[in-house]
Amino acid sequence: MIVSVIYFIVYFSIFLGLLYLLFYNRKSYTSAFTEQPRISILIAARNEEHSILRCLTAIDALNYPKDKIEVLIGNDASTDNTCAIVNDFIKDKPNYSCFTITQTIGNTRGKANVLAQLAHRATTDYFFYTDADIAVPKNWVQMMLSALDERVGVVTGITTITGNHFFHQMQALDWLYALGLIQVVADVKLPVTTMGNNMLLRRQAYESVGGFEGIKFSITEDIAIFNEILSKGWEFRNIYSRDTLALSLPADTFWQYLHQRKRWMSGSMHLPWYMVIIFILHSAYYPVLIPFWVHSSVAIMLGIFVLKLIFQSIFVRECLRRVNMTVPWYYYILFELYLVVSSVILIIFFFIPVKTVWKGRRY
C-alpha cells in the first residue's frame, strides 16, 4: 500500500514536470546559414517497390534548389522491382544515383552497410537520411539545417504513421506521443536518441567515429551512431515541427509490426538512464494500479485512472497541435486502451526467443 502510494506520487510528479517543460521550455532554432549549402540524401532500399516512388516524389518536391541536392539510393539486394522503378524515375535527373550494393565493409551488415557505402560516394558535408517508405515534407532540408551550428553533429526530425485504419491512427498517436516525450527531454539538453528515417549528420561528425563501418554493429544503427557521435563531444538537436514531420507507411501486417517494435525495443536497451526511468514508471502503471484496488476503493482507483488519462491527453493534444493535427475527443480514451493492449503484447513478444526479422533478414 505504502509502496503504491509512493509510486503514484512519483509518477504524477514526473508527469507534471514533463507537462510543464512541454509548454514552457520549448526550444526554437534559427538558421546559422547565410547560404544554402549542397546536401546529400542517403536512402537504403530493399524490396520497396510499393513505396520507393512515393519517397522519391516527395524528395523531388523539396523546397530547396535541385542543383544543391544529390540523392544517393542504395539497392540492398532487392528481389522485386525496386531497382527498375528507381532507375526509371531518375533517368532524367542527373543529381540522383542508384547503386546496387553487393559487398560489405567493416563491421556493417544490412542497412548500415548500404548507408556506409553511400557515405563514401557522397560529395557534400551534410548527410540527410530517410527511409524508402517515408515521405518527407517540403521544407525538411531547410528546417533541419536551421538547427545546425559548429558544435552540432546530429539533428533529428519527427516521424509518424499515415493511414486510414484505426490501428494506423493509434500508431500515429503513439509515435507523436513518444517523440513528444523525447523532445521534452532533449530540450533540457539531455540526449535521448535519433531516428534513421529523419536524421541529419554533419560529415565531420560522421567521420569522427569512422562512419557506420567503424562502430559496433547494431540492428538499430541510427541509435548506435548517435551515441558514438555524442561520445566524441558533438552536440545534438531535436526538432518537433510540422516542417520536419515525415510520414511513414504502416507495417503491412501485424507480424511485421511486432518485429518492427521488437527491433526498436532492442535499441531502447541503449537509452540513457533517465529515459529508462520514465519508461519503467510508465510501464508499471497498471501493474501497480490493479493490485492497489485491493487496498482502496473503486472511486480512488477510478480517480487515479482519470487523472492519468487527463495528463496524457493534454500532452498528446499539445503534440498534435504543434504539427497541426487533431483527432476526435474519444480517440484519447481509445489511445489509452491501445497502449495497454499493445504494451502487453509487445512485452510478451520481446521475450519470446525468436530472432528479429526485418526486410527478410534475421538478426
Residues 108-142 pLDDT 10s:
888 999 999 999 999 999 999 999 999 999 999 99
pLDDT score recorded for residue 356: 64
Query: Over the stretch 22-36, which tens digit does the pLDDT of each residue have?
Result: 999 988 776 656 679
pLDDT score recorded for residue 352: 79
Asked if 167 contacts 255 with a C-beta cutoff of 8 angstroms, the reply is no
Give the number of other CB atoms < 10 A from CB of residue 119.
20
pLDDT score recorded for residue 108: 85
pLDDT score recorded for residue 358: 59
Asked if 145 contacts 68 with a C-beta cutoff of 8 angstroms, the reply is no
CATH architecture entry for 39-157+195-250: Alpha-Beta Complex (3.90)
Mean model confidence pLDDT for the chain: 90
* Dist CA 41 CA 227 (whole Å): 21
What grid cell was written down for 84? 527498375
Percentage helix, strand, coil for the chain under 3-state DSSP, each rounded to 5 = 50, 15, 35
How sure is the predictor about 236, in pLDDT bands with cuts at 50, 70 and 90?
very high
SS3 66: helix
Is 98's pLDDT higher than 90?
yes
Query: Over the stretch 2-53, which tens digit does the pLDDT of each residue have?
Result: 878 888 899 999 999 999 999 999 887 766 566 799 999 999 999 999 999 9
| Nearest partner of 251 among 41, 77, 50, judged by Cα | 50
* Dist CA 44 CA 111 (whole Å): 6
Q: Where in the chain are the domains?
A: 2-25+270-352, 39-157+195-250
Asked if 200 contacts 176 with a C-beta cutoff of 8 angstroms, the reply is no
Tell me how far apart the terminal alpha carbons of the chain are, to the nearest angstrom.
43
pLDDT score recorded for residue 1: 72
Instruction: Compute CA distances 186 → 7, 26, 106, 155, 181, whole Å.
Output: 25, 10, 31, 11, 9
* Dist CA 196 CA 155 (whole Å): 11
* Predicted TM-score of the model (pTM): 0.91
Query: Over the stretch 141-156, which tens digit does the pLDDT of each residue have?
Result: 999 999 998 999 999 9
Give the percent of the chain with pLDDT over 90.
66
| Nearest partner of 61 among 28, 89, 34, judged by Cα | 89
Asked if 181 contacts 278 with a C-beta cutoff of 8 angstroms, the reply is yes
Query: Over the stretch 250-302, which tens digit does the pLDDT of each residue have?
Result: 877 788 788 777 777 766 667 788 888 888 888 788 787 777 767 777 888 88
